[in-house]
Structure 1
């Protein structure tokens, strides 16, 4: 099949594959091809994955693969597949072209599957679509390719042993009834019962037919026709693609060598392999070289998929999950394409989200994919032990939904709405109820309220307990008044707050030392949390000086910390004084003192040994105060930054396990940024730390090493180079614009790439530090379109985070708004896809239009349609995208939405005025695509909205014929409900929809059409009626339907032929019996 052969390659030392190298010519140049085969006698997903892995190690520039070979056909009423035919994997709107058949259950009702595999890359899909369209007008080149092969290599046509790589004859292509087993030990079917053989119409020539659709892939070889028929919605079986499709971008091409039954033998294998290879050659011959060049290397796609959970393009993970993330990185580095199940469990999720309890937003890694991954992980771990009846009743519980960022919350709700049918239990505070109902409007909601008896028991427990400083100052009357007052104030309060308020109220009363003072406290009890918090802080200030001063440090440290502090980190931070040059652990307060002096406003999480505020409502209260203990938020961040930097400047001799080095090293910059880098001690120490101290190598590097690992090792799996620290990048990472402006870094420093391939500008853009971006540009940063190791530019990173101001500045300074990453997504698409940042998307779209790239808005719109981002599509249309603009195959946004079965998208596009009858390059309208994908809901929608139901393609094939061909009676019924449907419209050959049903044996379709009045006596170009067509093709069930509706069994055409003569000529005995039983007779000469 190669047009050129190349010399043997140099391989990776561990690569055991044997390769053939060469080129295949195409109109735009030539494609370099690497061919490898599986080891002899080896088949299945694992050998295939191993072969591909080795191939990529030796040829890292490979773009994609073609899995070419033989498969077992699945003939059906809709797909008359014969031996030697070709099956090509093609997404059908629901699946990516390949389904893993051994990841589900085969039942008498059909196949209940558990998963599907990824789609082929876009360049291949475009080529397949183009070749499909070409074959509708021209003969395939496959017969010519096979003929040339045999001329050049005569021995392939007539080998010394076994059948050749040539057509094996229709007499050797026998399909038996599914229940009939092979009758002897012979390979051939010479002794099998001819009466059990299915009678199929003879084909006009020997050219192989090409079928496009879903291929079933798995470990087992199917040799049972009854099992085969459970998968009738697929086209063939094979055993390699399941090991590759999810990780290696490829297309599957199979020549049909058997029917997956007990009659299978090796006769057709060589010819089937040859036809598949010939199709691969023809496909590459029309694949555009430029399309291939713009496709990312396969290894980049694999790397991106494997690292998607540890590099989610979200803010950096907190140090408490570093160990979990490092474990994932280690697992991925050891992972082959076919992993053991336990490795996959670890890969699915960085943390067991549901096992964690968090009331502080700074503790979460909250990406939607992480949450969904954790759910899948838990289900998979238990899957073997869960019986089917139990598994069908699985409930997924998601707690504290309101603590997610709004964009992630909306993405998760969309997944719940549009994803698999599962039973979900959600909890949240009530203020987001409207948002939830927008996505889950038909679901039940209830308001959870605490039971009064629970609160009463709590009060009884507190009286006389550790928090009661005067137990004897209590009597029954006072106790009763407490119950009445506190229970009364809790009415109408919901959720945890209903317990928190009574707990603070009880503490207020029990801090009084006499019955009278307690009665007075009851009279002035706070009626809401704000008053309760205010009262608690007042009591904190009324403590002895040492206790109150300690509490005035603890609460701000806990509240303003960038991540939860461990008890030891907090205690050691409090031990540091302004003039310390060494760390002295003797200044660390006892944990019990930390809690006692704060009067219940902070608590210790025993599971994580971290200290946190008692409730998120306290954090909201503190954030709303202009000052906290006499200082505003900027001043507190300045103080914390000063302590952190002081720690980093301690002598290495004072470093002990108690010193808060990790927090100081990784968080000092965040605190400095939040105090606006106010001139003072912290600012001066930061300049010294970055500009002088480290560059002159006069101090310890432990802190810098921790920061380097925080930025690069955990997130990007990069190894540190001793003595090299990217100070400009670290400053940009923290957004320290004033440090940048006063730095002495050169223009080269500001445009240099770090261990992740990033410039300082990329770091600042990702986090939305607009001032830092401006400072870098002012100081000479010019690498506006520079990409990192993941091929992401600063503009794309800004778009991912939804940082509109940063994106606008970058574009004004020269960043290309339509610059595409290696994943073929522009900044606009990242903005639309990652976080639904339609505001940023709108700005980028405006810039594209302003720069003369308005035509690209249509491309963006169609890509957003392909990925199902409805709001992004709406934004782009509003910004000027032409709703009926087409791609290279003539497909509009509506066509693509229909093809993918996105009903919401279709309805929105139609409402926006999308053209219902725009024809693509293959002559198909959106309605035809809805029929072809079998989506009766979309067919009804388009018909009701006014789509033309009598349109036809260039060959006269009507919409109704497409429906008949689809085999879905519901679709045909939708069309035939319309009184303006042309039932008897004919194509160029004079064929009507009824004739098509007759020809293909679709008796249900024939019944529907005749019931609606389809003409029985209309003839085609060969002067045949529908009955004659059915008789000629041996479709006895259709013959019976037509006779039942009044078809004339003795009607003679201009050639003197009747339905009976057609049936007798073709040898369809059952049809002859039916016709004669209904009065048919041979016409007189």
Structure 2
């Protein structure tokens, strides 16, 4: 559903059925859509806002309904190529169209008939083309044509209203709408209209948004001629107040008028001989009846010269046109010779023609009156077919005598060419607008013109001939019959009254007529309509009583369920609405989509909405009936405005606290629907337009809430489904609205009121929706900052987790308990440390937060800081007595974990804080053990550099392993060297009796052995199995280690606990490389080991053929 005030760019997203089904806090967001306005092209972002403003202006009561563009196109189509160009070369025009600030107002003056309007159309066409070609110059051209045919000339306000509409239509982006126009546009949400005196100011403001604006007005003197004396002064004032970038050109009759209108320079318009000649030759060349003139060159030149001279002498270009019209009407040599007989004064020309018509035959006079009546009083352009068909109806000529219809030549002849044919559009027009006065003065119109036209239209519509729908008269009659009827004083026309009633009661003819109109009004179905519907459609209130008396049921509905009252409201027919209600029309009947007449208010013109709504309310219309989409009239008024209608609906209720539907009160409608629009504006782009829109919607909502408060709405009683206004305002961040509610009941407990005992408080909703300002208002009005929730939620912890320093500071100042914990045992400080937020951590500690609050299944604060490598927070915690020596379930301290992770920064930090370096965990591992296992040489270096003695360096773990043994097992020579350099012992044994030398030999770690041997007293140290290093070398299959140890005097004949020498062990392992190396370095082949066997014995009896072969080779003589 598009927003009628905010425009199509705001549409409700989502199904209202969903909204009604859930009854939740479902707000319809408003999304940008596209609805192209006219044929203009805009960027997607700008289009809908511009079209919305144009649509709003079109509905204003002071709008001028006649299109200047259509008249301009008609005049432009009548121009002759090459004529009128002289005006662009005049010094006055060139000065005016330049940037000269002192020559911004130019008058084009000349007598009536001199061709000013045609020149104006050429100027407009030129400026429009210039604006299109040079778009980057931000240029606009707006124009207006005053007309002699308009009995009620538009006021000055309507002039500026029309020019403003044109100006807006030339805007390419929504951001180019003037701020003042934005504001005025959105004030319409309150139901205001644009006052007539405001249009000039709005035009002024909007024109300032362009680089250059050209304003062109034709026949400006007619505005003053038909209005009071103050009009000229008003126009002069508005012209003078226009911004410097606006340049005004207007036409008038004389220099006195031009001066009064403030013209700074004038151009006198007289027929240009070259233009007249070009026009004459063009007319003759295109006229079949005048082509004979071209055959005689001498006669043609004489004709051209005569017409040029006559036209120049008369100073009226229209003289040339009338000469040629007469020649076409009676093309004979005599007519050419009598061309000098035409008077040189326009009024005399018209008077002469009228006298000639009056002296014609009665039949010709009758036909002339008919033509003049239709051409002057028709509400649309009239073609020859209109006139011929209407003449046939009015004279009751039957269709079988159609050959008796007058033809075009007869029509022009009997009118003595005061009516001319527009060849391009095939329409009949007066030869000049001012001839109307002369025709009326001579009585050449029907006595009651509108009555005559209305009678002809009705007789046409009542015709049972089905082919009528194909003729032009039927089309015109179906569209305009009622407008003519409204202009007639019905009591004086009994025959016309009977004819109209006959038509309105004739269902068949009515349906035929309305189905034809349906082609133009696709929004509404006309099937099954009655005369009452027609009275509503055509705005005929005086016919309602008669139609009801004719047995038409007052509540009859058409095919889509709409009654005449629905139609009357939709089209804004106030008097019809009153008449229908007076005759007991039901205001609460729903149509096929369950919409009552009140639902239709938004589709009608704004000027009558309030009075229509008031009339319906006074007759018992209900504002709470919902349509199929779930919208009631009051919800539509609350959502879309205007404020006056919404206020009327609310004021009509006796008890505003009554739920008209389960869970729904009037206050909820205002909050839920109204704030849906307001929120979409809050999150939109911040432009002058959006800000004006925002202010307008806020004013609308404030007004409605104030009204409800004045009517005694209760704020502390939830609806049947638990809705509360304070919670709603808290969730949606409505700061001003929330303050208004809380100040309305200042000493109540509204701020802590929940839907249920286990529900969320207003403060919690505000904080969870990040409505910080709203939360502060709640706290200022007594919200509990230390509220307890079953899920452990806490205001201070919540804002801390959200990193909202200002809110943390605010709540602490409001005495929030800094050491409260959630269900996980975590305090606000714990969350601040987790978020690495130094500022909040510092603030909480300064306000007394305990740094060592224990938490289940969670790291301590200091450990979190170290884990996140945030030493600044760690330092802060330490300065406030963080427990560094605390251990976990494995007996590990912070230093253990830092060492295990290889975090040099954390280890350094902790050592600098004085942590004990030699503490062992449950596995007997010190921080040094963990650093070695991590193989972090930097941490090992740091820890050993803080060594307080060998007791620390050589402290064994549960398995008796020293740091050096672990480093050896990791085959990390760098760490081995670091430990040796700081005094680690190579001779300490683990639980297996193995030293670092044993592990190095077993692993083939030669670099370590090189470092160890100089530092041991006995290279033949044995383990618990009496194995020496060389035994472990053999067990590891390290032949190179065997050689290395032998070279350093290792005893090769030591027997281990199993009675094996190194060689016997090698033979048992059947490792020929190790055997060969031992024999080579001097191992005794015959040394007796276990069971009294030598190495050779084991080789022979064990089947170790590889080792036996090596031994046999060793026994061979050199």
Give the TM-score category using the shorter length: 0.3 to 0.5
Larger radius of gyration: 2
TM-score, length of structure 2 as denominator length: 0.44
Higher helix share: 2
Q: With CA pairs under 8 Å and 6+ residues apart, which has the higher RCO, 1 or 2? A: 1
TM-score, length of structure 1 as denominator length: 0.45
